[in-house]
Structure 1
């Protein structure tokens, strides 16, 4: 680790030119790499010209560069004049650098194949040209100085790489550490080397855990006082060889009043710290023997009681001198201080240890691997990795906690003889029992094949495999979520599970195990012919041959097979003493060990490689916590071109991803993503970003065009509006939050919406409404033109933007690309917070949009509307008829910022956070409108319906419900009662459990108001007399007699406190009869009940009653849900079923926040359907074999528990194979995975589909 070169065999090349070139010696200075000083534990990277030692290691001075940038006491080098290339440098021995060349200006050599005499190979010194850094630009000097102090040796580069990797990790990540030589146990204190008097506990803890508290005293004022003190006493000459000194020992040694000393202040022998403070005056009363003498400022004294004075004549020893007066001036300094405390976190301890990382000793990798494995075994207690909060709280032992061992080395292992390996043997080649197998069976017997098998015992791969295959904590449930990074494409479920389980790219282990990531520095050159070729990545090169294992040994061997299909034999037994060379076979063992434990191997050659490796590993581990929002599909018909669009977010840095995944037409199973829009966003200078300045749409590219209030918000008290604007567009800006992976923010509650050529049926509109043309005859032509429109999918993110992504497939360099982004004016109040390096998550555009065609100003257009959800109190509208050419002029309006003719001050005070999604429809007054509920937490706290002109954003009508407070209106459903495609009725629920009907049937908006005689159609109250909030959009289905059935569920899951609410919630079907008014009473509803929850073919299923309903006496039905369960999204009406999802929040973090039930009940009765809906035995049939038998009675399953955590309503996909209809529901959950459920198609519902509803197909598209 002390060497300044890679690979190992360059040690004899120091005198060559090529040794000082990164082209030959990869760790040497590379002018193409930006050597940024690494961050300290609590800060972000320093940038060029920035020196902020409180948050990072500073940029280094070119004329005083420390040999070790992590130790301020290390000696410095003037790189202008005293540079020497480093062969070896051990930080623990600062006086040596193992170099023999003469000192001179800093330099490097550049490889140039055009040089005279150059043969084109890297070993020819004629190919190298000297570059004198001392003559270079300041930026180059700075870069070289940083490289010298932080990256020039393996040790320094490793420390910098690790610090960069750990910098961005969440404080919740747990970390422990060990050094292979000086600190190889996790159970004791770990100093590393040269610890500054403070033991550092290396056992596992949260990075943010407070280790200890340090008191810091700061001087805030200083006062200096000088006082002269005198006393008189008897003294005598001492009997030393030089009788020119008098001894004050027999003096009265009591200090004068006020003095702090009995003699002048003295520090003993040597010069005093401040000679003026030590000066004394001795006055002798008897001038015969001595004269007055003042000790000079050099402080000539031997000790604190014997002072040199002048003597006028020689006298005998011990001759007494009377009346000696001693006087001195004592200076006292008084400081005024203040004390504060600072918490020392585990992360700071980690960085302190890294800064003292040792660079010597043997490579005991096997012992290190065993030590790590054993650490995760044993009885769980407060100090164990599986404690709820190690060293703080034993608490709950969560079953989903993933364990990772990151092993970094610059050499192959040695010194492997130990009893610690007993029982390991050739584990990865012989029959072993693992806790569960691909078929879900327990204690699964498995004989590993390739690429795991090697037929040799007790190497690093065996140890890594052993601690992967072992259940390290048998007392903890096996509920670790499998990591399926490469899904199988097999249509057979058993084959699919087996292929995924055996694939080394996946980690299917559900038990507590250890995954090993290995990093080899300067070792990649050992990986090549005749052995498997390393391709720069764990799964590249000859990885596919290693998976095949053709002609590899089938019995235990002690000789290498020189084959690219086999792992070479790893000889063992040698001592680490004097060990230098890296054995190729043991370098392969690093690769093999990673694969054997389902981890990854990183072969690094340079300092930048190391930084990248640490970043990749640590963020990959943290990214496993990524979770998902809902899905969208580009078609409800399942075709070869069908795509699912899945949004995900990473809470470790609040970044987002947006994937397009193809769907298997036979199985409905999504495949590997075709693209991730997060990596396809244009650079900051070419992005199309727009906003609204309060009166018009503008490009978001200058602080001069946004409004004064918007500029003030972006200035954020530091006048950096332009910097923030550029950062929001995607640029990296000094001192702002660093976005390492993508500029796309987290997508949490915004459901994506796909737009291309949906048929909204507007050709069936009447020619005129209220004597205004509807454009009905032109609609089919408009739709026909849209068939060639660029498809786009729209989604809001908590980066302050609505994003439009190109949603097609296989268009080179275009598919998945961001078409444009829009920043609503309503988010400016918090926009500046996004740039804060200490950013704490906020919501911005956190609600899903909706689009519809509309005939505006004499032309058909496609309009997208949306709210902000938790992000604010704004509704926006955009013209997305041509997304590829979207510009500022296509920003239509924002409400309530647009000009409104309404003078009612409550236009704003009634509007809450816009959770309610706007709906679009043509109204009886002939005007297209956006209709939406007022949302939640408004100033007035009431439930209000807004109707806004779709073309202008001006308010047409605001309809209040009643005076109940702590209320808000949720997303409405628009309904056309007479089938002419014109909206005349609206239904919506509120937080007080009221289901409201609004009557818009008049051509005069002044006549619009509450229907049902101004009374709620129904008020949801459970049997404990508790109001049940309606927070989701209702659905409407026809009734076989007359009127409609309104379907909705109750419960909220919007705030932290909602999760703890255990009030009973319900799902309802309420009949709105055309001949009856008044509020439907709970007693007029037929009850259905949950019978039990059980399992069927490995799935958790739910059974409910199937009570018949007497419509002559009943006005609907309801089902009470389980305790804590609530409806989380709008229901889907499909064929003869009402489909809805429910959520049960759970405090256990291993449950992905909770669980979801996918429920399917009969539309008319709310009971079990007459035919099974779920193909539970996967035989493509829906029959008695899919029923559950209890006490001799076969029940039809009405609910299926999600396997992907909390999920919203599914996407419904259908395909016809011959005469057979297949249906699939796709659920995206908080685990980040997608659950595919095979479903029965069906027939038209008994009451019709609610033909007058204007909900069309959009809910199928986005849910």
Structure 2
């Protein structure tokens, strides 16, 4: 229809135009209504960001009493004679050592001490005197010079290029790059340089001349260690029969025991276990943008090298080496690897690589353990080929808007080649690999936790199991590498169908009838709000059977599991019961007693020994600023019942089920007490009975929860020849 532009419209024309306009308007409104949900999804595409606390969340956060207080941080209990070859060893009657980190509440100063545990009780008296304090050694005191002196410390860093190429250098003003010096030459939150960069570096190395003048005062040069994990590395202890490995082990059989510990002074430290002297320290390049905050008089505590670490032996470029892999926790998104084969010669060449969200945006804050693992890279017609990797989950907050975000919030399992040449860039599917796990609910925080690893008879990775914060338990099948993929074996939900977060590394036991039993607890603790009663919900412990059938036989829910029920038993104990596991049961589960009211949860993993699963839970205080406590459990892995495995110290006639502890310990330690051979059974099988003390350790404190006795098969298991044993073994791996 043609409309004249030089006169008024006739009546029917005006009515037609108004009708057409209304239709167009309604179409626009309808389209907008259809777009709104899509726009809303786009806005919330990234899950909620977690506020990762750098303070010790399980300690009380109320003001300390007069005189200041030390707050417990990372700890490690080792049974004798793990460091017997070192100088300054404890008395011959010692049952082992407790290495504990503490934080000075007043100024965030750190201490790391070694205590000798008395035998046979293992209970450390309150008056126990430390054999050494690494913080005191570094700081010095009245009439005692720092050891080593700040200028003599072996502190190193790396100059890392945008593509991952790096070169190790001393952590000194002249050795660092222009970009690193620029970051340290300005105060926090400033753009302009102030010319104090060289003095900041001296401060970070331990020089104290500018304290209380230009920079903040410290009572200890050593930073605190809250969420990091002490790693004791002695002589090589792998069981490979490879001739080259046996020669490597022989060469380093006298290697001195060293403890590696990340701290919130921006460094990973290597301390001689015998006398506490610092042998080496590494400052990750990834932390350079935040190092200028440490000397600032207005310093507010934050995380630096505040993640867990582990070590392992690896074949790199044809040579056996010992490698340490350390996460940075809340300090930075990523991890680094060091060659620690010879602790006497650690220098700028020790750093192998750093890998951060700059190298791959799916990398997040890693708060659970990385591992060193051997992977079969080809099966070919001839001999298989292998390669050694650091394997690590993507962790938390990889979707945070920091310039390197993965907006979808998916998780990933990373394999980072330990043989990456320092001067080579990171390249996906060349020297690192990534297996992605989908996100289930974009409205919930997400993050993949550390995997439990299963090796085949050659020591190569076969399966990995990892959980995420949305309750998914993922299985990664590496038997067909490089075609491995993530598959959801189970989703943890409470009785009302709510997803339960998995924030710990699972454990794996052999299941009767074949396959594996995957054991894990649920719950999370990342900031103070997780301790508030408003955040409490039902949390549980699960044992999920993976039959290894093809295709995978996923466990669809609680209806396929056998329930276990906890009940109050009087005093500081609980009891647990439940019916017989029927044929076809896919495992078992137990809800922690009234956890929606008490806040009880499982966040720290546990120990497996001889068919027993030993773990602790966390119980928040009455207020989120009160100190947390623990409950300790010892259950049969296969049934979820006590099974006569343990006796509790508080009630020798009762098993260890929910034994209440006055302080929190992430995971119990097992200290072997006795071992004896029993008579052969009717089939001729020899049985060894081993006894362990269950000990909770934290900084200056140990508590013996009770004991565990397990029976293990020993010697020749059968006289019957099984001609196809290899095929049978492969079938049940």
1:656 aligned to which of 110, 115, 122: 110
* Structure 1 residue 1145, shift from structure 2 partner: 1.8
Distance (whole Å) between structure 2 residues aligned to residue 402 and residue 710 of structure 1: 37
User: For 1:1157, what is the secondary structure of its paired residue?
Assistant: strand
For 1:1090, the equivalent position in structure 2 comes to 566
For 2:545, the equivalent position in structure 1 comes to 1071
For 1:1138, the equivalent position in structure 2 comes to 613
For 1:918, the equivalent position in structure 2 comes to 370
For 1:1125, the equivalent position in structure 2 comes to 600
User: For 1:780, what is the secondary structure of its paired residue?
Assistant: helix
User: For 1:1237, what is the secondary structure of its paired residue?
Assistant: strand
Distance (whole Å) between structure 2 residues aligned to residue 1021 and residue 702 of structure 1: 52
Q: Determine whether 1:862 maps to 2:319.
A: no
Contact 1:732–1:738 (Cα < 8 Å) also in 2: no
Q: Determine whether 1:1208 maps to 2:695.
A: no
1:633 aligned to which of 45, 70, 78: 78
Contact 2:323–2:339 (Cα < 8 Å) also in 1: yes
For 1:1034, the equivalent position in structure 2 comes to 506
With the length of structure 2 as denominator, give the TM-score of the two structures.
Answer: 0.74
Distance (whole Å) between structure 1 residues aligned to residue 589 and residue 254 of structure 2: 46
Contact 1:1036–1:1045 (Cα < 8 Å) also in 2: yes
Q: Determine whether 1:646 maps to 2:96.
A: no
* Structure 1 residue 712, shift from structure 2 partner: 2.1
In the superposition, relative to structure 1, how do residues 1036 and 1158 fare at CA in structure 2: closer, same or farther (>3 Å)?
same
Mapping of residues 220-619 of structure 1, within 5 Å: none
Q: Determine whether 1:995 maps to 2:473.
A: yes
User: For 1:1127, what is the secondary structure of its paired residue?
Assistant: coil
For 1:931, the equivalent position in structure 2 comes to 391
User: For 2:243, what is the secondary structure of its paired residue?
Assistant: helix
* Structure 1 residue 950, shift from structure 2 partner: 1.2
Mapping of residues 964-1003 of structure 1, within 5 Å: 964=440, 965=442, 966-976=445-455, 978-1002=456-480
- How many aligned residue pairs are there? 580
Distance (whole Å) between structure 1 residues aligned to residue 329 and residue 729 of structure 2: 29
For 2:37, the equivalent position in structure 1 comes to none
In the superposition, relative to structure 1, how do residues 786 and 644 fare at CA in structure 2: closer, same or farther (>3 Å)?
farther
Q: Which runs of 5+ in 2 are unaligned?
A: 1-59, 85-91, 139-147, 187-192, 378-385, 400-405, 678-688, 718-727
Q: Determine whether 1:1186 maps to 2:631.
A: no
With the length of structure 1 as denominator, give the TM-score of the two structures.
Answer: 0.44
* Structure 1 residue 1120, shift from structure 2 partner: 0.7
Contact 2:97–2:116 (Cα < 8 Å) also in 1: yes
For 1:1244, the equivalent position in structure 2 comes to 712
For 1:1051, the equivalent position in structure 2 comes to 523
Q: Determine whether 1:693 maps to 2:159.
A: yes
- Partner deviation per Cα, 1:1015-1052 (whole Å, 9 max, x = no partner): x0001111122111111101111012100101111111
Distance (whole Å) between structure 2 residues aligned to residue 863 and residue 1043 of structure 1: 31
For 2:276, the equivalent position in structure 1 comes to 816
In the superposition, relative to structure 1, how do residues 848 and 984 fare at CA in structure 2: closer, same or farther (>3 Å)?
same
For 1:1009, the equivalent position in structure 2 comes to 485
Q: Which protein has the bigger strand share?
A: 2
For 1:189, the equivalent position in structure 2 comes to none
User: For 2:301, what is the secondary structure of its paired residue?
Assistant: coil
User: For 1:916, what is the secondary structure of its paired residue?
Assistant: coil
User: For 1:1236, what is the secondary structure of its paired residue?
Assistant: strand
- Partner deviation per Cα, 1:294-335 (whole Å, 9 max, x = no partner): xxxxxxxxxxxxxxxxxxxxxxxxxxxxxxxxxxxxxxxxxx
Distance (whole Å) between structure 2 residues aligned to residue 1216 and residue 1108 of structure 1: 32
Q: Determine whether 1:750 maps to 2:232.
A: no
User: For 2:438, what is the secondary structure of its paired residue?
Assistant: coil
In the superposition, relative to structure 1, how do residues 1036 and 1218 fare at CA in structure 2: closer, same or farther (>3 Å)?
closer
In the superposition, relative to structure 1, how do residues 1088 and 828 fare at CA in structure 2: closer, same or farther (>3 Å)?
same
For 1:718, the equivalent position in structure 2 comes to 194
User: For 2:182, what is the secondary structure of its paired residue?
Assistant: helix
- Partner deviation per Cα, 1:873-927 (whole Å, 9 max, x = no partner): 1210000011121010111100138xxxxxxx9x522111122321111101111
* Structure 1 residue 758, shift from structure 2 partner: 4.9
User: For 2:570, what is the secondary structure of its paired residue?
Assistant: strand
Q: Determine whether 1:1224 maps to 2:676.
A: no
Distance (whole Å) between structure 1 residues aligned to residue 79 and residue 395 of structure 2: 29
Contact 2:235–2:256 (Cα < 8 Å) also in 1: no
* Structure 1 residue 656, shift from structure 2 partner: 1.2
- Partner deviation per Cα, 1:585-623 (whole Å, 9 max, x = no partner): xxxxxxxxxxxxxxxxxxxxxxxxxxxxxxxxx6xx212
2:640 aligned to which of 1166, 1170, 1182: 1166
In the superposition, relative to structure 1, how do residues 942 and 870 fare at CA in structure 2: closer, same or farther (>3 Å)?
same
Instruction: Report the aligned-residue RMSD.
Output: 2.8
In the superposition, relative to structure 1, how do residues 759 and 1234 fare at CA in structure 2: closer, same or farther (>3 Å)?
same
* Structure 1 residue 697, shift from structure 2 partner: 4.2
For 2:657, the equivalent position in structure 1 comes to 1198
Task: Look at both structures and tell me which one has the larger radius of gyration over its CA atoms.
Answer: 1
Distance (whole Å) between structure 1 residues aligned to residue 291 and residue 132 of structure 2: 28
In the superposition, relative to structure 1, how do residues 833 and 1147 fare at CA in structure 2: closer, same or farther (>3 Å)?
farther
For 2:42, the equivalent position in structure 1 comes to none
User: For 2:292, what is the secondary structure of its paired residue?
Assistant: helix
Contact 2:107–2:219 (Cα < 8 Å) also in 1: no
1:852 aligned to which of 312, 320, 324: 312
* Structure 1 residue 673, shift from structure 2 partner: 1.9
1:944 aligned to which of 412, 417, 421: 412
Distance (whole Å) between structure 1 residues aligned to residue 195 and residue 113 of structure 2: 37
Distance (whole Å) between structure 2 residues aligned to residue 728 and residue 1119 of structure 1: 49
- Greater length-normalized contact order (CA 8 Å, ≥ 6 residues apart): 2
In the superposition, relative to structure 1, how do residues 778 and 1147 fare at CA in structure 2: closer, same or farther (>3 Å)?
same
For 1:841, the equivalent position in structure 2 comes to 301
